[in-house]
Structure formats: C-alpha cells, structure tokens
Structure 1
Amino acid sequence: MHDRPGSDEAATHKVVVVDDDFMVAEIHRRFVDRTKGFTTVAVAHSGAEALDAARTTAPDLLLLDVYLPDMSGLDVLQRLRAEGDAVAVIMITAAREIDTVGRALHGGATDYLVKPFEYAQLREKLEHFRRRAHELATQTSADQTFIDSLFGAGGKAAEPVRLPKGLSAETGRLILDTVRARGELSATECAELAGLSRVSVRRYLEHYLDAGLLELRLEYGGTGRPVRRYRPAGH
C-alpha cells in the first residue's frame, strides 16, 4: 500500500499511462505531459507492467485501458484495491458496454473516458482530478455541499440532459463542480480554476442559472457594473 502525499494546486501529479497499443500510449503520454501540473512517470503496455509501475512509482493517477493482453484493466483495478492501493484511476478505453462501465464504477475508478477522444476531453478529466485532489488536501471539514461536489451529486436539481448547441456536457460538469467546490465564484474566478476562457464559462454559468442549478448574487464595488457571482441553488 502506498502512502500518497497530499496534493495541492501547485503540485505535479505523477501519472502512469497504460495502453497495449504503443502508438496510442505515446499519444496519451504526450497529452498528459502537455497538461500543467501533470507528468508521466511510466508507460505500461500490459496488466502486469501496470501493477509493477503502480507499486514502484507510487503514482497519483493511472490512465488505464480495459483491453490488455494478459488481463483486463478491470482486473488491474481490482488487484490494486485488494492491495490497499487507493491510487486514482481513469479508465481510458473503447469499451462502451454498460457492464464494463458498471464494474469500473463499483471497482473504484475515478472517471471513465471513451476512445477515441480529443486532448481537450482528457484535459477536462485531469483538471477535475486535480481540483478534487486539491480540495481533499486543503479542507479540514466537509459540509454536505462539499461532499456532493466530490461525489458528483447535483444539489437540489439534476444537471439538464440537454444543453444548448455548442455547449459540452463534460465542460458543463467541470464548471458546476468548480462552483460547488468553492461555494461561490465569478465567471473570471471559475475560468481561472477550470482552465477555460471566461467567455465560455460565462455561457455555461448563465445557462445553469436559467436552469435553476445556480443562483446569482450581485457584488457591488465603488464604480462600474456589479460583479455577477454564481453559487449552487439553495446554498
């Protein structure tokens, strides 16, 4: 069992990339290494190599494929948990079967990303992991709102299934999680934390405000327009 150090926003998170396809693994490694705050410490192409890398490098995160030549990624996940290793795991796979998704969820996977995907989609997953790790490392107590943000609960209302054209569900969840974790944010603050543009974040925030998931508070300063600050509904 590895004792993993506490994480903060300035820390560099160690990642092990696991994929049986050498070219795909290299692409994922490059994606990880171009993301601020993350570095690849090992690349594995089989379940045995993945387990060995997890034991020897004590990573913060595994990007774990399901289809491996010697065992499935789900078996790797199960063995890690059986050994008491709480390393975060994002399943990165072409597997879409609901049974596979369910096993990953119940096995303790942190997230799940279906191949093929663009860099921006993986970056959102990494940022979500980074933010949650930071919150767990810095909070001394947890109220229900904070707990809901960690476990993906939706507060008073569920996230709308349909988003306006041009808005991504993944980005929307990232923005909602950011607001729920901090309690209240302006569009500028949310954009900085989520690593997105302020204009894009503002569109999502206004959509969720209209949908009833967020509430608005106007913060008045000395001059100029008041700052629009967003918080979870009922907060």
Structure 2
Amino acid sequence: MIGVLVVDDDFMVAGIHSRFVARTPGFEVVGTARTGAEALRMCADLDPGLVLLDVHLPDMSGLEVLQSLRAAGSAVGVVMVTAERDAEAVRTALHGGAMQYLVKPFEFDDFLARMQRVRESLTTLAGGAPDQAAIDRAFGGPTSVAATALPKGLSPETAQLVQEALADARELSAADCGERVGLSRVSARRYLEYFVDQGLATVRLNYGNAGRPERRYRPRPV
C-alpha cells in the first residue's frame, strides 16, 4: 500500500479527496494537513509515498511546499490537486517534479486513472533496473488511444487502463474489466463498446448462463 498525505486547507475538500483515496486500490490515507508547514512536518514524520497537494494554502503555496521538499532531498511522489489553472503554476509544478496536475473539480474516474498511473510509476521504480518499457510507463509514455477521438465523458487515462487490462486478460466481460480497473460495470462497458466501435476490440456473446447472454470483449489482433 502507498501511504498518501492529503494537503488542503478546506476540510470538506480534504475529506472528499481522502474518500477518493480510500476507494482507490493500492493507496491509503496516512494523514491530512491544512497548511504548508503542517504538510512539511507530516512528510518528515510519516514518510508518505505520495502527497496530494493543493496550490492555495494559508501560509505558503503548495508550489513552495513542493520546492521545499525537493530542496530537502525528498523524492516523495507529489500530485497537485488544485483549482489553479495558471500556466506558470503548471510549469513550476512540472519542473518541481510533480507526477500529475489535477484541476478541481473532477470526477472519481479521472482521479482513479491518474492515481493508477502514479502507482505504476512508483512501483516500477521501486525495484531493480527497469527495462525501457517499464521506464516508458513510469514517464507516462504515449497512449494508444487518441484523446481527441474519445466521446464526451470518457477519459483518455481511463481508456488506456481499460485497454491495458483487456490486452493482459485477452478476454473480459464489463464486470471483469471494472473489477480490474476499479470502475463500475456500466462505466467499463462504455469504454469497451467504444473500442469495439473503433475496431480496437471484438465482442462475442456467451450463452452459457441463463438469462441474457454475457458480452465478452477481446482485443483485436494487430
């Protein structure tokens, strides 16, 4: 499990983010902080694997917290979770080593997709010398699903996770896929049906059970 420190000066928002973390496989909340100073102190005391960090804090900006962590030699993963959209803030976060920059408000599916990317990066680099494919995954390599082609309501990050789950399993139902990725069956089916429409997957009907046949999806051979 990757321990997460949630940093937000709004206790209600911090509570929402904490609940999102609790719903995300592989992560657990180890603490919450409402100021930059408290965040730095708790990072030193708790040694979390990841910090969800707001930009706007009462005593210093989250970007200053990020800079202080890096100046102290901390390699903790940081995900900026903020309403700040200023390009300079995004550049500062990127140059400071933030792994993701998630703009409020957002849905759980979008949060889940980014957290799963973060988990893959953190676990990939926790072992020995990674190969090129693992390095590409850690650096968020190119996805095979074009973001511009996705219908409204579908996230490119989640689409990539669903596509990877389908490739790994070779055949999945929507329920199976949702369990693997952390989505509802209905949400998983939307992505899978999109892949069928785009020619990236095929579907067959399984008549083995009573009632309506089960739709089972396979990646289309390249």
TM-score (norm 2): 0.75
Q: What residue in structure 2 maps to residue 51 of structure 1? A: 40
SS in 1 for 2:56: coil
Q: What residue in structure 2 maps to residue 3 of structure 1? A: none
Q: Deviations over 1:89-138 (max 9, x none)?
A: 11010001121112111211111111122333323322222233333345
Q: What is the alpha-carbon distance in structure 2 between the residues aligned to residue 70 and residue 231 of structure 1?
A: 53
Q: What residue in structure 2 maps to residue 94 of structure 1? A: 83
Q: What is the alpha-carbon distance in structure 2 between the residues aligned to residue 133 and residue 39 of structure 1?
A: 14
Q: What residue in structure 2 maps to residue 75 of structure 1? A: 64
Q: Does 1:124 align with 2:113?
A: yes
1:196 aligned residue (174, 183, 188): 183
The 1:141–1:206 alpha-carbon spacing in structure 2 relative to 1, beyond 3 Å, is farther
Q: Deviations over 1:1-28 (max 9, x none)?
A: xxxxxxxxxxx22111101112222222
Q: What is the alpha-carbon distance in structure 1 between the residues aligned to residue 36 and residue 86 of structure 2?
A: 20
The letter of the residue matching 2:108 is: Y
Identity %: 49
The letter of the residue matching 2:148 is: V
| Total equivalences in the alignment | 212
The 1:149–1:80 alpha-carbon spacing in structure 2 relative to 1, beyond 3 Å, is same
| Higher RCO (Cα < 8 Å, 6 or more apart) | 1
Q: Deviations over 1:178-222 (max 9, x none)?
A: 469x8775445764442235664465356458768x689xxxxxx
2:142 aligned residue (144, 147, 154): 154
The letter of the residue matching 2:136 is: D
Q: What residue in structure 1 maps to residue 158 of structure 2? A: 171
SS in 1 for 2:148: coil
Q: What residue in structure 1 maps to residue 210 of structure 2? A: none
**Alpha-carbon offset, residue 66 of structure 1:** 0.2
After TM superposition, list the pairs within 5 Å mapping 1:127-138 onto structure 2.
127-137=116-126
The 1:112–1:147 alpha-carbon spacing in structure 2 relative to 1, beyond 3 Å, is same
The alignment's C-alpha RMSD in Å is 3.5
The 1:71–1:184 alpha-carbon spacing in structure 2 relative to 1, beyond 3 Å, is same
- Structure 2 unaligned blocks of 5 or more: 203-215
- Structure 1 unaligned blocks of 5 or more: 1-11, 217-226
Q: Deviations over 1:119-176 (max 9, x none)?
A: 33323322222233333345753134x3222222216x67241312442334224335
Q: What is the alpha-carbon distance in structure 2 between the residues aligned to residue 151 and residue 24 of structure 1?
A: 29
The letter of the residue matching 2:154 is: L
Q: What is the alpha-carbon distance in structure 2 between the residues aligned to residue 141 and residue 104 of structure 1?
A: 25
Range with bigger deviation, 78-87 or 126-135:
126-135
